[in-house]
Amino acid sequence: MKLHRFLIGCAIAGMMAAPAWGEGGTLTVGLKAEPSSIDPHYHNLGPNNSMAAHYFSRLVEQDDKLRLLPGLAESWQPISETTWEFKLRQGVKFHDGSDFTADDVMFTFERAPNVPKSPSSFATYLKGKSFTKVDDYTLHITTERPYPLMPVDMAQVPIISADVGEGVTTGDFNSGMAAIGTGPYRFVEWVPGDRLVIERNEDYFDAKPEWERIVFKPIKSGPARVAALLAGDVDFIDNVPPVDIARLKGEEGVQLSQGVSSRVIYLHMDQFREDSPFVKANGGGEIKNPLLDVRVRKAISMAIDRDAIVDRVMEGVAIKAGQLLPEGFFGVTPNLSPEAYDPEGAKALLAEAGHPDGFELTIHGPNDRYINDAKICEAVAQMLTRIGIRTAVETMPKAVYFRRASRGGPDNSPEFSFILVGWGSGTGESSSPLRSLLHTYDKDRGFGASNRGRHSDAEVDTLIEDALATVDDEARLALLQKATELAIGRNQGIIPTHYQVNTWAGRKGLSYTARADERTIAMGVTSDR
C-alpha cells in the first residue's frame, strides 16, 4: 500500500557544553511549536507546513526568499489564457518504493480542501480550479479567468499518495500509517510533546540532505530552549527569545541567524454579529457590537503603541506594521504607514461613535505560536484599557485556540470577538493574505478561509479577484495595492501591529539560511565539517 530584508549571520564568541553535535549523523532540534498534526492537509499552519516539507514534496518548491523551484513538477507553462500545463517528474518513488504519478496529484487536490474539522484549510489554493490528468506525467489546471499565480499556489500543497484511499483520516497520518511521501526524509515516529523523529530518504530524487537522522524536540519555553542549547541537549533551536539575543552574542560556541519574515502579526475583530460574545457594556451588560463601527476599529488601531510593542515587548527585534507585508514584497503600497499612536484621538473617535465611556472586551490569542504572543495580548489589553475599552486577556495553546477561533461558535462560526493572529504569506506577495484574511468568507470558492472577523466589502472582493486574474504584473500590483488601501486604510478590516524578525541559534559550525516563510527546515542546517 502506497502511504506515504535583512539577513544576519553571526559567528559569536564564552563557554558551552562539550558534547559534539552531529554524532552518528544525527541533529537534534529544539522547536518552540510542534505541529498539531502530521496530516499535511489538516491545518494550513506554519509549524505543520514546516514539518510536512521534510517528508512530503510539492509540485513546486520555494527557496529561502520564496522564489519558485522545480519540485515534483519539472516544468510548468500556460498553454492558453485559462489553462496551465504541469509536466511531472518521472522516476520519483514514494518512501515505500511505489511510483509517483499524476493520479497522486489528482487525489491530493481532491482531498486537501475537504479534510474534516480543518481549522484553516488549503481550499484557498485549490478551489475554483479544474484538474485534468492528461497522462501519467502531465497535468492541466484550468480556471474560469486567467490566473498568473498558479505555480505559486502549487507550491503550497503537499502531495500524498492516492493509495492511502479515500477514507484516510488525520489519525492515520498522526499514527504514521499514512505518513509516507516523496520528501528528503522518512517519517519514523511522533510522540506529541516529546519528540518527532525522521530519517534521511536515501532514494530522494533531489540533492540528499546532510543529516542522516533528525530528532525534533518541542520546547515551548524560550528560556528552556536556550538552556537546552547551552547545555548541549539540542544542537539547534528556533524562535530565540528577543530578550536572549544579546546574551547569546556573548556566548562562545554559538552561531545565530536572523531574518525578516513575511509574517504580519495583526488583530481581527468581529464584524458580522450584532451580539458578539466577548463584547459587553460597562458592568457586563449586553451591548450592540461596537466593532461593527469602523470608527471604533480605527480607534483601537490608534490606541496601539506599536513602537512600545517593538521596543519593549519584542526587545527591538520586530518592525512595526501598517499593512500586510513589509517593504520589498510584491503588493506593498506606499500609501499606508503604521498607525501613529494617538490615544486622545482614539478617545475622540470612540465618543463620536457613541462610546465616550468605552465598553468591555476580551482579547483571545495563542500562548505558544508567535514570538511573545501572550505578552503582546497583555500589552494590547493595557493600551486599550487606557482609552476606556476595559480589556481582559485569555490565551491558550494553539491547538485549542485555532479550532475555537475558526469554528468554535454556533454553526461552526468563529467563537471569539477580538483576536491576535499572524499570517505569513507563503506566496511572497499580498494576494495570499488579502484573499484569506480580507475577502468575504466563501467556503465553496475558497475565499476568506482565515477571515475569522468576517470582514466583507464587495469592492475589495472585486479588486482581489481581478488581481488574481491579471497577468500583467504592473496592473496586478495596482489592484493589490488598492485592495489593501481599502481593506485596511479605509475599512480597518484588520489591525496590523508588527512584522516578525526571527532568530535561530545553533552550536558554532552550524549555519542556517533564515527563511522569509519562517520555516525551520532541517535541510537548511549545514555544518562546516
Strands (E), 3-146: 7-12, 26-31, 60-62, 68-70, 73-78, 83-88, 130-135, 138-142
Does residue 521 lie within any of the structural domains?
Answer: no
- Cβ atoms of residues 487 and 493 within 8 Å: yes
Coil/strand/helix, residue 281: coil
Query: Residue 129: which residues within 8 A CB-CB, separation 6 or more?
Result: 109, 141, 142, 143, 147, 150, 153
Which positions of the chain have pLDDT values less than 70? 1-24, 529
Does residue 414 lie within any of the structural domains?
Answer: yes
Between CA 332 and CA 326 the distance in angstroms is 7
Q: Look at residue 24 in the predicted model and tell me its pLDDT.
A: 62
Between CA 298 and CA 128 the distance in angstroms is 34
- Cβ atoms of residues 417 and 135 within 8 Å: no
- Cβ atoms of residues 462 and 479 within 8 Å: no
Between CA 426 and CA 476 the distance in angstroms is 18
Does residue 297 lie within any of the structural domains?
Answer: yes
Does residue 524 lie within any of the structural domains?
Answer: no
Between CA 502 and CA 259 the distance in angstroms is 6
Between CA 450 and CA 275 the distance in angstroms is 21
- Position 493: which residue type? G
- Cβ atoms of residues 10 and 515 within 8 Å: no
Provide the domain limits for residue 442. Answer: 261-500
Instruction: Give the angle 469-470-475 at the CA atoms, nearest 5°.
Output: 150
Strands (E), 173-243: 185-191, 195-200, 213-218, 236-237
Q: Look at residue 120 in the predicted model and tell me its pLDDT.
A: 83
Separation of first and last alpha carbons in the chain:
39
- Cβ atoms of residues 430 and 330 within 8 Å: yes
List, as one string, the DSSP characters of 33-50: S--S-S-TTTB--HHHHH
**Number of structural domains found in the chain:** 1
Q: Look at residue 391 in the predicted model and tell me its pLDDT.
A: 98
Return the C-alpha cell found at 28: 537534534
Coil/strand/helix, residue 483: helix
Give helix 473-484 / helix 458-468 axis angle, nearest 10°.
160
CATH of the domain at 361: 3.10.105.10
CB 81: neighbour CB atoms within 10 A?
11
Between CA 16 and CA 228 the distance in angstroms is 11
Closest CA to 198 of 22, 399, 40, 52: 52
Between CA 178 and CA 187 the distance in angstroms is 10
Does residue 473 lie within any of the structural domains?
Answer: yes
Q: pLDDT digit string (tens) for 114-147? A: 999 898 889 989 999 999 999 999 999 999 999 9
Q: Look at residue 311 in the predicted model and tell me its pLDDT.
A: 96
- Cβ atoms of residues 426 and 157 within 8 Å: no
Q: Look at residue 22 in the predicted model and tell me its pLDDT.
A: 63
Give helix 343-352 / helix 294-303 axis angle, nearest 10°.
160
Does residue 451 lie within any of the structural domains?
Answer: yes
In DSSP terms, which residues pair with 390 in a beta bridge?
A: 360
CB-count burial class (<10 Å; 0-12, 13-18, 19+) for 527? middle
